[in-house]
Structures are given as C-alpha cells and as structure tokens.
Amino acid sequence: MRAETVFTTLAALALLAASAPAWASNYDGMLALFFTFYLVAPWSALHLLVFALLALFDRYRSRKLALWHSAIAAAGPIVGLFVALIDYRDPEFLWLAIGVNTLLLVLAFLPMGMHAIHRHRAARRGAAADASAPP
C-alpha cells in the first residue's frame, strides 16, 4: 500500500510541475492598465463634472479659465499615453490604451470648444447690433 501512495504523490507532483506554466503570472501591462482605468478615467470623470458645472453657470467666456481647465484635464491622459507606450502587454492592449487615452484627451479640450462657441456668439451679437444701429 505504501508504494501506491508514493506513486500517487509523485504523479500528483509531476502533474503539478507539468502545469507550472499555467500558474505563472505575467504582469506586463499592469501599470498601463492601472493607470488608464483607475487613475485617468476617474480624473476625466471629475473633469467632466467640473466642466458641466462651469458650463451651467456660463464661466467659459474667459479664455484663461478655459485654457487652464483644458491643460489640467489633459495632463492625465497625456501621461496615460506615455505609460501605455512604455508598458503594454500585447498590441491589442496597446491600441486599447491608446484609444481610451486619446478619447479622454479629446474630452479634455471641451472647455476650449465652449469658449469658442461663446466667442462666436458674441461676435454674431456684435455684428447684429452694428447692423441694427441707426446711421
């Protein structure tokens, strides 16, 4: 009976050793994944919340405020792009990280777009006022 126990134990150890590559962990790309989805995405969500509040109260008439807000909001996705380019698991993950960070970078420039809309409306109002003024 003892020989069977030894052989059973050796067979179990051999099976465990044969499956060792399946137990190995590959942490390539974890920094980019962590940075993109746990730091950059909440950073951009906070940016969108602040953008909505400032747009609601019509604060993007100031070019300086719009520029500063865009620059601060773009800092996270830009760093996220660099981290994704340095540490990635495979090409599919690299393109996913680039796509997500690029989308969040585009959203960071919403305040500049809102400022351009205000500037355009002010120019139209000024032209309409000049046209309706008596000679």
Q: Do the domain assignments include residue 95? A: yes
- In terms of pLDDT, which residue wins out, 8 or 104? 104
Query: Where residue 34 falls among pLDDT bands split at 50, 70, 90?
Result: confident
Q: Do the domain assignments include residue 9? A: no
Give the separation between CA 28 and CA 84, rounded to whole angstroms: 11
Query: pTM of the full predicted structure?
Result: 0.72
Q: Do the domain assignments include residue 113? A: yes
Q: What is residue 26's predicted lDDT score, i.e. its pLDDT?
A: 65
Q: Are 87 and 98 in contact (CB under 8 A)?
A: no
List, for residues 45-85, the tens digit of each pLDDT value.
Answer: 999 999 999 999 988 889 999 999 999 999 999 999 998 88
Give the separation between CA 88 and CA 59, rounded to whole angstroms: 39
CA 99 to chain centre: 9
Q: Do the domain assignments include residue 21? A: no
**What's the total number of domains in the chain?**
1
The sign of the CA dihedral 45, 48, 52, 54 is: positive
Mean pLDDT across 110-122: 91
Host domain of residue 58: 28-132
Mean pLDDT across 84-105: 86
Give the separation between CA 17 and CA 61, rounded to whole angstroms: 67
